[in-house]
Amino acid sequence: MKKFTLLTVLVLLTSVTLVRAQIQRGNVLVGGNFANLSLGLDDSKVISFDITPKAAWFIQDNIALGGYVNFGLQTAHNSSTTIKYGVGGLGRYYSGADVNVLRHGRFFGEANLGVGGINVSDGGGHTNGLDYGFGPGFAYFITPNIGLETLLKYNGVAGFGDAGAQSNLNLSFGLQIYLPGRSTAAKVKGDVR
């Protein structure tokens, strides 16, 4: 019984340490978020999706800076088509401690700034210019290197076009892969020897 308890404690401590290791300086985050996924099967034949690939580097523990690309499409039979796009920089800040309820999870905040637009076909209007967004999220690490996340984000586009500004509140789900950077990989390789 003592061996089982000791083994369980060691596994839990190792898991918590590995989660912390993935958001340390020098590591890389690669993945994306998906939102507004819909495929209509009735007469309207609505198709919609938003996809946002991301890459970021941890410049300090818990702080990542990088870039994103966004593409969204919403179309339906005999209706206007809306295309959303964006490209720019993003920043993330992860909470300093694991969440007590879910030991493999972290809260984070994300903000982005770039160039983007929302264009509606058939004279529906368009806005192109400054693309911005911010909001809280939660990442749950299913393995030490893979995180499932949800992100509630306020997104906006301000600039030129028929509408001076457009904005929305968006709930997205994502998958991120946390790769060790050169310094982390060298440290692990040195520890193994």
**Residue 75 backbone class (left: φ over 0; alpha: ψ -120 to 50; beta: rest):** beta
Whether 19 shows a pLDDT value over 70: the answer reads no
pLDDT over 90 percentage in the chain:
54
Which tokens belong to 55? 């890459």
- Please state the pTM of the whole predicted model: 0.77
Domains contained in the chain, CATH given? 2-192 (2.40.160.20)
pLDDT tens-digit map of 34-82: 998 888 877 678 889 999 999 999 999 999 999 999 999 999 888 889 9
pLDDT digits (tens, 9 = 90+) for 104-136: 889 999 999 999 999 998 877 888 999 999 999
| Alpha-carbon dihedral angle through residues 69, 185, 139, 100, given to the nearest 10 degrees | -160
